[in-house]
Structures are given as structure tokens and as C-alpha cells.
Structure 1
């Protein structure tokens, strides 16, 4: 059953805080999942959240830290000493600890690292801090189980027992050589059914997916999604095993990428949250609004240049909004499918087959819309030639919008630009100006104004 925060729960917590009933607070919260506690803390004011955080033991609060909203986590950490922060980090996996340390000031960062009790844990965290956060190195954790290809099964099992003490979940058993170069993986079934004297080199599986430390996080996510992997090993420039990335870290990457693409599609130029300041929200939204304004001003000049056509054929102006809206929708639909294909790997580059398919869809859709439009115009206005001009213009504009919506994301992707930009205002505004130009060009050819 999904956890839900109730008013009674919040009131009970607030009452315990006022009365400093620490034992009651612990009893109430200890059975909750750390993600649920984080959700509760976000509903309390800062002082109350900090009080509860200090009441609970570090084994619990370390996991809670990872789930808190950025602002609340920053505020709570600001109230903790370097030693108290280090106690929290000693309970976390290296990659999670490195993520939290990266948020601290340079001076506090060094102080916290010096307070870490486990020297090896501290070394691993420092090693992870040198990688960019959007790379495999920045995502990976150091906790894993590895065995040497020259060991026999008995030695392997003994070593695995020692290593597993520091690993919360054993997804895979990796095999390395004497230089720590990744060679493959070991099946648990083979390990259990093989003679204890058998060498690992005789039974390990050589086929293995892996990534390099400088691979981008989105590429790692694509590989893990494609092959349904729960974890993937990470190697350095020499092929040495340096860490692993687990599915929970990749889910965060996929979520962040989806949020970024959604915002780009909506014409928001930088990552923003609902609790950001008015200035930050304005700065993120205004650029595309200004670009759209400029393009629409240009479109108004096109309309002005065709004033004579409006006087002779007044219904031409009536259908401009319909044409713009339809072209915008067709373009956004086409670009959205291409961006989706690029994201999931089903479309890697320009494909004549897919392009032909998209044009065919646009042609069929445009023809149906145009026939309906022709019928409506003929019934309402009895201007058959004008209706024909509008209908043919609609088909041309729809074909153009589909072409633009298909090719622009592919062009951006080829030039290492996020193609999600092309799924929103870019396509809509571009189709507005070019659609109107095409509309009057076709109408002029048919009507001769």
C-alpha cells in the first residue's frame, strides 16, 4: 500500500517535537521507509525537519538525505558539523556519498573527507569526485564483487564472502586478470555447480556489456535500457575495472533527461523547478517567447503584403489561424516521434524509409483535412476556386511542416544539439512564418492576385 501523509500524522509529529518526545518520534518514524520520511520532512518547516533529522540515527538519516529536496538537504547540512556529515556519509555507498560531498563548499568538502572513518571509503569517494557528474564515472559506485580469473572456485567463494560485506546488492560477479582488467562475468549457477578446484578462467562468461568512465550518462542509460541490465561495469582507459552503475542510478538519469526534454519542448531554456524564484523562471521562459514574438512580427508583414488579396478574397484571412494551428500540430507530432526514436535508439540517423513513411502520413492526413475544408468552404461561401486554393495550400503547408518536423531533430542530433528543442516553439513558430508564405504563394498561383 502506498504511503500517504495525513494531517493527523503531521500534527502528531509537531506535538512530539514541541514536547521533545524523542523516543516517541523514533518509534513513529523508524518503521517508515526512508523515502516516506523524506516526504514527511518536506512537509514540515525547516526547524522541525532538522530536529527530526538529528533525533534519528545516521544509518536511517543517511538514506533520507538522498531523498530530500535540494533546498531542504542544503539547509540541513548547513546545520551539521563536518564530523556529523561524515557520519552520514560513512553509511552511504561511495557514489551517493560523492554526490552529497559535491554539493558542499570547497573548505567544508575537505574537512568532511578528513573526518571519514573508513580510509578506503574516503579514497573511493575522492576518486569519484574527479569525474564529471554527467558521465559514467560520475554515476558509478565502487562497491562491487570481483574475482581473479586465476583463482579456483574455492578461493573465489572465500573472497566473495569478504567483499560482499561492503556491497548492499550483488547484481553481478565480475572477473578480472592480474592487472585488474575486466575479462567477463561469473554465473552464480556455474559457481555453485562447478568443482571447487576448477579455475575461474574455465567457467566465466566472456560476453559482457560495459561502459567507459567518460561515456555520457544518457548513453549508459540507453545501453542498460536496451539490454535490460540491472547493473553495468565501468572501465578506465586501460580497460581496468573501476566501478559499476546500478539501475537505481539510471532511473534518476532517465527521469532527469525526460524532465529536461519536456521543458525544452515547452520552450523553457534551462532546468527549473516550481520553487525557483520569479527571476529564474522568467529567465528560463522569456527567450523563446521573444523569438516567437519576432517571428510573428515577420508573419504580420507577410499578411500586410497580401492586403489586396484579402479585399478580393476575404475568406483567405479567415483560414490563416486554422492553417497555422494545423501546420504547428503536424510539425510537433512529426518531431516528437523522431526525438522519441533518437532517445530510445530505434532511429539513429536519417532514414529514407522512415522519412517516406512520415511524408505519406502527412499526405493522407493533409488530403483528408483539405477535402473536409473544401466541402465546408463550398457550402458556406460558394467560392469554389478560392476553396480549392485554400485546400491545396493546406496540403502543401502540411507536407512542409512534416518535412521540417522530421529533418530538424535529425539535423540537431547530428550536430550534437539536443533534438528536444525541435519539439516545441521552434517548430511551431517556424511553421507559422513559412506556412503563411507558402499559403499565399499557392493561393496566388491559383487565384492570380
Structure 2
């Protein structure tokens, strides 16, 4: 696949289509582009036309575009969106990215935006993250994860993992917790696939987990990640 290269000609074509309100043609032109490429395009336009593109495209794509935008461009566009429109964008994002956007909003509309999020569990997770200092591990983390109970067998574990994974964008690890929801280890997918479906997870999981405290500074988190 050839990397996208933004040209003056392409920008002029998009602008002409916007001026002519040819929305279907714009959508067709942008359909196969990566969200980072579309963010590059939006960064080149003034506030009004950048907002036009964001409102034109579907939230499942524009939410990622917003995260990639230059901060001042994103701020200007968010100022042109209603609380409901912002909430729709947040619904599509992982909690860490959603919390970053909420943190940039004027204080007077934050509560209104949160109240417009239909998924109340997602809204609660975003609010939880906002309580942490942005310059800490808690301020950087996402609440989405896949976790299994040590007392489940492998078959139950796989079924639960499938259900949970639907709401997780990136699955890097499978975490194991006890009945008190305390982290006690992690799962190797290889071990999971090669073990009897009747075997209990407590006989399969790896008890060692590298972890950090939510109040840890990002620099220290980076050192630990780099080492392990």
C-alpha cells in the first residue's frame, strides 16, 4: 500500500467539494484513508471547514481523527460541537483518550457532556480517570482490559474473554483476578490454547505481573516498561 501524501491539489479538491456541499463525493474520497491521514487534512483547514468534515463523517472514524489533531485545531472544533455531539465521539474512544478530550473541555460543559454519554459505565470510567493527575500512571491508563477469574475453567475463560474483547480496542494481556477482584497474575494465550478446556485457570496462569502504582510518574513507568 502506497503511503498517503497530502498535496495542495488534493486539499483544493476537498475544499471545492465542501463549497459545493457535495457530501457524498467527499465521503467517497476519504472512505479508504486512515484516520491519521484525515486528521492531517483537517489540520490544514480553518475551524469552520475542519468542523464541516468532522460533522460529515461517522463518529467511529472521527473520534480517532480528533485524537490525532493538533491541540489547537481540536479545541476549535470541539467548541463548535454540541455536548451531545462530543458525547457521541467519546462513546467511540477508549477511556484514556476520552478522558484526555474531556480534560481539554471548558469546565462549564464537562458535566453536560458526561451526562449525554449513553453508556453509563463508560461515562463512570472516564470520570474515574479524571480524578488522577494527568502526569501520573493513573492519568495515562485506560480502564478497558480483559480479565478472568482464577476459579474459572479454560472453556468458561474463553467464552468470557470473547464477550469482554468486544469492548476492548487493543488486547495485549489477559489478567487473572481472585474472588476479591485483586490482580494475581496473567495468562499466556499459548498455554490457554494447549490446555484442557476443563482445567482451572489457577493451574495455568503465570503469577508474576509487572505493575506500577497509579500515582507513579510517567518517567518511572517508562523505565519499568523498558526494563521488563
Taking structure 2 as the reference length, the TM-score comes to 0.97
Alignment-derived partner of residue 106 in structure 1? 107
Runs of 4+ aligned residues of structure 1 deviating over 4 Å after TM superposition are none
Counterpart secondary structure, 2:21 = coil
Query: Which residue of 2 is the match for residue 176 of structure 1?
Result: 177
Q: How does 1:216-235 map to 2 (within 5 A)?
A: 216-227=217-228
Match of 1:151 in 2: 152
Bigger relative contact order, structure 1 or 2 (CA pairs below 8 A, ≥6 apart): 2
Distance 1:46 1:120 in 2: 32
Task: Give per-residue Cα distances to partners, 1:207-228, cap 9 Å, x unaligned.
Answer: 221111111111111211222x
Residues 109-258 of structure 1: matches in 2 within 5 Å? 109-227=110-228
Write the distance in 2 (CA, Å) between the matches of 1:21 and 1:204.
55
Structure with greater helix percent: 1
2: CA distance, partners of 1:117 / 1:102 = 19
Structure 1 length as normaliser, TM-score?
0.50
Q: Using the TM superposition, give the Cα deviation of residue 12 of structure 1 relative to its aligned residue in structure 2, in angstroms.
A: 0.3
1:8-407 → structure 2 map (5 Å cutoff): 8-227=9-228
**Structure 1 residue 2, shift from structure 2 partner:** 2.8
Q: Which residue of 2 aligns with 1:297?
A: none
In 2, the alpha carbon distance for the partners of 1:59 and 1:50 equals 16
Q: Deviations over 1:112-131 (max 9, x none)?
A: 00000101101111111100
State which structure, 1 or 2, has the greater radius of gyration over its C-alpha atoms.
1
RMSD after superposition? 0.9
Q: Which runs of 5+ in 2 are unaligned?
A: none
Bigger CA drift: 31-40 or 218-227? 218-227
Alignment of 1:410-421 (within 5 A): none
Q: Give me the whole-angstrom Cα distance separating, in 1, the residues matched to 2:198 and 2:167.
A: 26
CA distance in 1, matches of 2:175, 2:116: 32
SS in 2 for 1:211: coil
Work out the number of aligned pairs and report it: 227
